[in-house]
Chains A and B, each alone.
Chain A
């Protein structure tokens, strides 16, 4: 498993071979508030980087989850369907959302490192 990288839309990615595990950052779950449901894409659907692939709903908001790297959905975290609160409680571990088989590994290099992301979030907070 590689280090964790981040997108500007607050998704995180960990890469193992050509399998990427995706979730949303601690900052993102905090901004969204109590998450009440998640709408997953179908297994084996394909997405390009930055395409909307899932929707996360809190009580008062609905947010797209964007695809961090080109790829095909191979697994979703079914546990979240009954326990969406895991995204709030454990965004980097039990709250992972889905796995992609990525088609362009080099895209990983362009994502932000933990350090870069923290700086990015600091700036966004203003």
Chain B
């Protein structure tokens, strides 16, 4: 698959003015207010799960939508970080922010090692290399002692933030997760709209031209790979604190597939697409849980409909109608 087939070109029309356009500011503001009152409307743990996956999808979108690199192994960073963070909290007794930080760092380092090798190949080969490394991480998690095999790391204490504030209650933890994910998504937004992001888009559009202009393309690719892996790790590490466990689900290849689904459904290369995509997928998994096997069938139907009717993803199509990048 050539990656240039699946990107949304809508973002290119944005005038290269500095700062955030009013529309985006307004949407972020509405989103923030909505998220701030969300625990009163839905169950906080569910809302936290949605936010973790939104950050995960946004991190993946940085790589696919703006870097033009399709990774099939993002579960390795998401799950790897959740194991490291869970281990730090449970065995070393670290505070939540320290655990999340060390999980994120671990994912970044893993991304550096895997990315350095993977970016030497393009297209389908790149995807296969990332998948192969992710499978290695999966088997490591299955076999290693500290990961607890198929039981995972259970009963991770939530602890006290900075050793001061208890985040044992769902409500307290919710606002910590809100701060982390919202901050993370804003940071990703800043990356995309920085000069670095502009170069990334140039490389995505025409790599030989970017090289001829004097850019060291591989360094940019590696940088965006490491950034994407780190933010995926941030999401995974945060999730391990929310659910108080790290398990094989998070490193399984189907998790890598799920994040692709979320991003495509919402809209590749859009700012808000991954957030919406993650919300839809997680909500389906959660609220349709009682329907058993129908969950996967419904997921499949929605995906097929998405591909047929909203090829650029829901937000991608919306943004086309509005003739404005979203």
Chain A bound to chain B? no
